[in-house]
Structure 1
Amino acid sequence: MKQTKISEAVVKRLPIYLQVLNELYYREIQTVSSQELGIKLDLNPAQIRKDLAYFGDFGRKGIGYDVTYLIEKIRQILKLDQKINVALVGAGNLGHALCNYNKYSNDNMKITAVFDVHPSKIGTQINHLTVLPIEALAETVKELNIRLGIITVPAFEAQNVANQIVEAGIEGILNFAPAILRVPDEIRIHHVDFTRELLSLAYYLEREREADNESNLD
């Protein structure tokens, strides 16, 4: 892999490429060009070629990309060829949904432990995982070599949970709580805020309606 600083935007596009490539693989399509990928993803083919070129020369001129080979390489780039254990904190409805997805995922990244603070949830089962008390987090992280954590707790509990996750030695956090969390610089954190995304969608819906009204007046 080339020793070049890769932008976050490039890294976030790699899973999208992988998703499309997996679809092609299951349809038994053996090769694909950057133009074909661009059409499927509504991206400039030059951008796709540039993104992939950061990590190596995977295509062949006049032929394109070998689908199976490129899947393997992107999985290696994203570390999906390694087993990565994940802890989930918050056994509510969203936590259940993520564990249900985990059940059908074929990737090596798996939710291997679930935690909660509420006594009524501790000891219950979610897809063969027993909900553990938050006090067992540090010990379980060490025992199962858990590297990533998912937070699905209410906003007012999120920072405290993030602190415990960091103290337990987890390296990265995916936060679904509607709160901006403070963690040490060496901890990678990504935020998924459903409310913010819905609000922004509402804005664009209104823009589309205004544009339609203006066109009708013309």
Structure 2
Amino acid sequence: MSQHRHPGAPSRAGAVPALPDLPEATVARLPEYLRALHHLAETGHETVSSEGLATAAGVNSAKLRKDLSHLGSYGTRGVGYDVALLIEQIESVLGLTQRRAVALVGVGNLGHALAGYAGFASRSFRIAALFDADPARVGEEINGLVVRHIDELPRIAVEEQLAIGVIATPAGAAQAVADQLVAVGVTSILNFAPCVLAVPDGVDVRKVDLAIELQILSFHEHRKASLTALPGTGPSTLTTLAGGAPTTDPQEAIGT
């Protein structure tokens, strides 16, 4: 995935300079920090230590301090980080100081759920338009929005100033939808379809594949089960050493 950065003016004194050149892994963790910070603010915390924020975000404190140093935020010794200021810094870097209009294409079961998700609005995103190619779905109202036919995308893109496209279609339709989004000037796409999209340079795609995530978890379950089974391996499953004697050494049993 490509990243495109443009220079900008810094915000108020003490805040992060606009758009620092951040490592991709840091960018991926910033939303987690922001979520944790918002929770801290809602529960009345004005400051937080690096250890406390790292625990809330699920990372180690050294990694968090390095990530935040990219923003020009180092905290205060003995006090920690100013929660409100850090929220402002991260939101500025993530471009969340303006509400971005989102087009959702595909209003099947997943699309319905996404269209009704209240969390988008609280994070500076506005579902501005819903699209589908199925005449049976066109005209349906979901969460106050009427589903439009995908052929209306060029007009709605201009009217709503669409910034981001979300694809929740079957895999077979996803590439055509991506092409249509790119054609109307959308350069950021969130793809829920189980396929890889081909897009021009300058278009950023984030892929969310729930089946892949489950397969990764399956690997970890398989690995944990294998590790748990080793100490309790019975004689019937042990590798037999030369001479017929079963080994009780796990390293020998697995051939290492």
TM-score interval, smaller chain? over 0.9
Q: Does structure 2 conserve the Cα–Cα contact (< 8 Å) formed by 1:159 and 1:181?
A: yes
Deviations 1:120-144 (A, max 9, x none): 0000011001000000111111111
Counterpart-to-counterpart distance in 2, 1:102 and 1:138: 26
**Unpaired segments ≥5 residues, structure 2:** 1-16, 234-249, 251-256
Whether 1:62 aligns to 2:81 is no
CA distance in 1, matches of 2:18, 2:87: 18
Select the structure of larger CA radius of gyration.
Answer: 2
Displacement after TM superposition at 1:172 (Å): 0.2
Check conservation: 1:102, 1:110, Cα contact below 8 A.
no
Match in the other structure for 2:194 = 178
The answer for the alignment partner of 2:105 in structure 1 is 89
Alignment partners' CA distance in 2, 1:47 and 1:203: 26
State the AA in 1 paired with 2:21.
Answer: K
* Deviation for aligned residue 1:38: 2.1
Cα distance in 1, alignment partners of residues 158 and 182 from structure 2: 12
Structure 1 residue ranges, 4+ long, deviating more than 6 angstroms after superposition: none
Query: SS of 1:185's equivalent?
Result: coil
Partners of 2:19 and 2:93 within 8 A in 1: no
Shift of 1:177: 0.1
Equivalent position SS for 2:123: coil
Q: Which residue of 2 aligns with 1:117?
A: 133
Higher helix share: 1
- With 20-29 and 54-63 compared, the bigger mean Cα shift is at 54-63
Contact 2:165 2:189 in 1 (8 A): yes
Name the structure where strand makes up a greater proportion of residues. 1
Q: 1:216 aligns to what?
A: 232
Which runs of 5 or more residues in structure 1 are unaligned?
none
1:58-102 residue CA offsets vs partner (Å, 9 max, x unmatched): 511221111122112211111111121000000111111111114
Partners of 2:218 and 2:112 lie apart in 1 by 27
Kindly indicate whether the alpha-carbon contact (under 8 Å) linking 1:102 and 1:111 is maintained by their aligned counterparts in 2: no
Q: Percent identity?
A: 40
- Contact 2:116 2:143 survives alignment (8 Å): yes
Superposition RMSD in Å: 1.6
CA–CA distance in structure 2, aligned partners of residues 160 and 3 of structure 1: 32
